[in-house]
Chain A
């Protein structure tokens, strides 16, 4: 069906923004490491992962624009939406911190995207299933990288271990939101477009538990959680990130390379 013939589908539009914004915001964060990583290999690694994530965001946001049917393309959605219109989970926008904290954030999200994309390959929406089938291969590789570092640094020196423990403590409560099902998630699951988040959570928890055990790190206790980026209620960090990311398009609208 061509874009013009598609009926407006606000739930699907919002769901695609959530997926696309997660990749875009995390990709932008990883891009901040370029030229600052602890070693050249990690500079390459983080930049390559950022590239994949931004590639995924292009596909997802491009499709979201088609579903929205107002003629907005991937660039307009990425560079001309406001803070509260971003629907990424709050975890993605958290500042990089040290390399350890970046790795912890990455492991938590890589494992989430992996379990999600694996299930989205069976989506009743053929185009989303095709994007997921492409992204899942890349995501598998991302987790191999981030998981490898989690184990090396967790089961490393007292200094690296202390930093990893503190990063997990700090970021853990933000994972609650990944699996908190709301009306959009329920509508997507009922239509067979997306999996049940409870199923994703189960698989994610098992994967994370195994990685933490190998890294000799403790799984923190669940704590109350208040942010809800998935619905546009973000931490203070996103605004600063968008100010930098959107600067060129806001200042010189329509500028091209």
Chain B
């Protein structure tokens, strides 16, 4: 039996740590095997594809915030939404739950984590590489703290011909996390992962 507690509470909020009605035979905290369970959970999560950008996993995207043993012995898996209204968030949660249920990790629960807010800076190096291969330009690392509101700054290079002679067609793309650009050299449109 897998215990599931859903909380929109921030990390560290006591509400997120309430004991879950877990499996009575679940391992207690620090019991032998906890490290192995955590490792198996991470391995299972690394196979969960983002439903809208299947080239990257939820781990690559940085939306899995932690996998840790909780006081009742269950594994707590922290999950953050990329955007508050992203429709994929609920699908991602369902996929994560299925992966955990199929993995041999004992009792677990998924906890929604709001703070600190997800940032595109948390996409892993591996995730950035996979995005680029997939044809989506990964976010510029430096911009998540940007305060300026005008477009501009460093030009985004075309993923095909690498020209920096590119223009923004739309600040918003096919998913909340992407913008639409066009290369003025090879004339191909491409997507750019927004920096937040």
Contact = CB atoms under 8 A, between A and B. Distances in A.
B116 interface: yes
Nearest to A49: B172
A56 interface: yes
A56 B170 contact: no
Nearest to B14: A1
B171 interface: yes
Interface residues of B, number: 35
Given A41-B170, A143-B149, 17 more contacts: A2-B14, A41-B169, A41-B180, A42-B170, A44-B174, A52-B84, A52-B176, A54-B85, A127-B10, A133-B114, A134-B117, A137-B144, A140-B149, A140-B196, A141-B196, A144-B150, A148-B151
A23 B186 CA distance: 40
Chain B, interface SS category: loop
A45 B170 contact: yes
Given A62-B8, A126-B13, A137 B172 contact: no
Contacts of B118: 134
Chain A, interface SS category: helix
A53 interface: yes
B121 to A, nearest CB: 11
B115 A59 contact: no
A126 B115 CA distance: 9
Contacts, number: 97
B116 A133 contact: yes
Nearest to B116: A133
Contacts of B83: 51-52, 55, 138
Contacts of A91: none
Given A41-B180, A134-B84, A141-B194, A1 B172 contact: no
A172 B31 CA distance: 64
Contacts of A2: 14-15, 18
A47 B119 CA distance: 21
